[in-house]
A and B are shown apart, each in its own frame.
Chain A
């Protein structure tokens, strides 16, 4: 332990504002990133669910359609002769 007491730990030998702001901003950013990633993933899952429900509702009301379309983005066009 590099500090004698908790108060000394908080004071960081007079460098408290610098040490704590650098660590604080880093921690805050990492936490925000994780939070954003979780919310994003949940929203996307819900989006797919909604899409499936919508397409099922449509296919039962109208003629049955193929819900899944396969779009291929394969193969950049080559134009050298």
Chain B
């Protein structure tokens, strides 16, 4: 890309600084708006509360459907938080600044997604075992539940960010966002819920977790480019 060594080094140094600056900025902004961070967690707990009421309080019945319920509810909670991923930056114009930065947009958007996962995916994963107790989730599957959710929500954040970037310029992007993103979530859901189910049945879970890891690796490689391209479309179009 660069013809001489000097600008290249400067460019690289600039990249790390810019990524760190984006990380710090987004973390500070989100930590100031704690309500936005807490909303998905409250939503997660609420949805999980609805199921025993709607289906039955019978622990045996709940235990059989708990892995699926926990995963679907966590997935929806993660989806709920997606719309705000780029929204406020779009509204106040800082997204445009990000696009004008000399550093590659893919790396900067990856930093934004990382912050999003840190403040939604990870808390959801940590909270899930607690809700698992309420659904009478059999012992021995709690760690797998948390790990599978932590791995899975990272992929969900990356895939979802593509949809969020595509719809950020649209006035009523929220419903459209779920239509775009939910079909793409299905593989993660299959292997995430499958991991917990396998842990309950006493089967090996390493295969499931390995596939979740592979999905995450693929998403890490490909999604940032799609997010960057989508942001360009939303801003320049």
Contacts and interface: CB of A to CB of B under 8 A. Distances in A.
Nearest to A78: B232
A77 B26 CA distance: 27
Interface range on chain A (Cβ under 8 Å from partner) = under 10
Interface of B, helix, strand, loop or mixed by DSSP: helix
Contact of A76 (B99, B104, B232): B232
A79 interface: yes
Interface residues of B, number: 7
Contacts of A77: 236
Contacts of B232: 76, 79
Contacts of B100: 79
B104 A80 contact: yes
Contacts of B183: none
A77 B236 CA distance: 7
A81 interface: yes
Nearest to A81: B102
A30 B119 CA distance: 50
Interface string A41-67: 000000000000000000000000000
Nearest to B235: A79
A76 B237 CA distance: 9
Interface in B168-185: none
Interface in A67-81: 76-77, 79-81
A81 B105 CA distance: 11
A80 B232 CA distance: 11
A74 to B, nearest CB: 14
A76 B104 CA distance: 17
A81 B100 CA distance: 8
Nearest to A79: B99
Nearest to B96: A79
B236 A76 contact: yes
A76 B229 CA distance: 11
Interface string A6-20: 000000000000000
Interface in B211-237: 232, 236
A18 B13 CA distance: 67
A77 B105 CA distance: 14
Contacts of B105: 80
Interface in B80-107: 99-100, 102, 104-105
Interface of A: 76-77, 79-81
Given A76-B232, A79-B232, 6 more contacts: A77-B236, A79-B99, A79-B100, A79-B236, A80-B104, A80-B105
Interface of B: 99-100, 102, 104-105, 232, 236
What are the 5 A-B residue pairs with the smallest beta carbon separation, nearest first? A81-B102, A77-B236, A79-B99, A79-B100, A76-B236
